[in-house]
Chains A and B, each alone.
Chain A
Amino acid sequence: MATMTTTPAAASTRPERSERAARTISPPVDIYETEKTYVLLADMPGVTPAGLEVVAERDELIVRGRVERPATAPDYQEFELEDYYRAFRLTEDLDTDGISATLRDGVLRVEIPKSLGVQPKKIPVRTE
């Protein structure tokens, strides 16, 4: 059964790279499944297309977003922009070659089609 689970950034077992060690925020996500795809939506305000990276590597989907921090601190502050990072485990039922990603108004949308083998296939019924 195709699933997509989230891997907490802190628990990553990959070799440390400097960007991972930098302070990052895990963006809130919605994940839902349709008959043919998985859709992931992530809130990443402040990220431009140039600062976005979506990588599907083996069984992992990694989302990274760079933000530009302002030169001066505001007088009153409720939020602080930080780079985004989050990783998701993919199962082999997903066709990572068919992944598409779009970024609009700070929301990342990733669509991953299910491999044809697991899509419900309608069997034509012949009548004799």
Chain B
Amino acid sequence: MDTRAMRDPWQEMRRLQREMEHVFTDFTPAWRWPLTGEYPPVNLTRGDKDISIEALCPGVDRASLDVSVVGETVTIRGERHAEPGVTDEQYHRRERPIGTFTRSLSMGDRLDPDRTQATYSHGVLKVQLSRVPEATPKKIPIQN
């Protein structure tokens, strides 16, 4: 899949991503996500007051799927399970990644956890983040 060139505002985010993200744990290397090793892959759209994230992660155990917001960072966690009771020998082909994943993204703006919404539908996780409005500068009177 092609990744388009990023605009400048996201370069900082990408640098922070590399510092913070984790890759699959308990994960057989042969099935790692083939592109960049970052899972799930995300698309971001930045609005005036909000940021929308779409993350491509089909087949995640909904009980394990977790989105949390702290400061400027949103973290997505989840687990994709192997088929229960099926041994390695039974497989003819195995291409789908399994295991637990954690991905943290730093947005560069303070986020409001109370106004964050997440939905998971058809294998796509959509997170609507709200940016905390910048505080209006408070004018300090100068006293003699």
Contact = CB atoms under 8 A, between A and B. Distances in A.
| Chains A and B bind each other | yes
Interface of A: 3-4, 6, 25, 28-34, 39, 41, 43-48, 72-80, 82, 104-107
Contacts, number: 107
A29 B59 CA distance: 12
17 contacts: A4-B92, A32-B90, A32-B91, A43-B59, A43-B123, A46-B56, A46-B123, A75-B10, A75-B44, A76-B10, A76-B13, A77-B44, A78-B3, A78-B38, A78-B41, A79-B56, A107-B58
Interface stretch (B66-74, B93-101, B127-135): B93-101
A106 B124 contact: yes
A80 B46 CA distance: 17
B60 interface: yes
B96 A28 contact: yes
Interface string B1-21: 111101101100110000000
Chain B's interface: helix, strand, loop or mixed, by majority? loop
Most interface-central of A44, A48, A79, A80 (chain B CB within 10 A): A79
Given A43-B58, A106-B58, A79 B41 contact: yes
Closest 3 CB pairs of A and B: A106-B123, A106-B58, A45-B123
B123 A31 contact: no
Contacts of A29: 93, 95-96
Interface string B80-113: 0001001000111111110000000000000000
Nearest to B45: A74
A33 B122 CA distance: 26
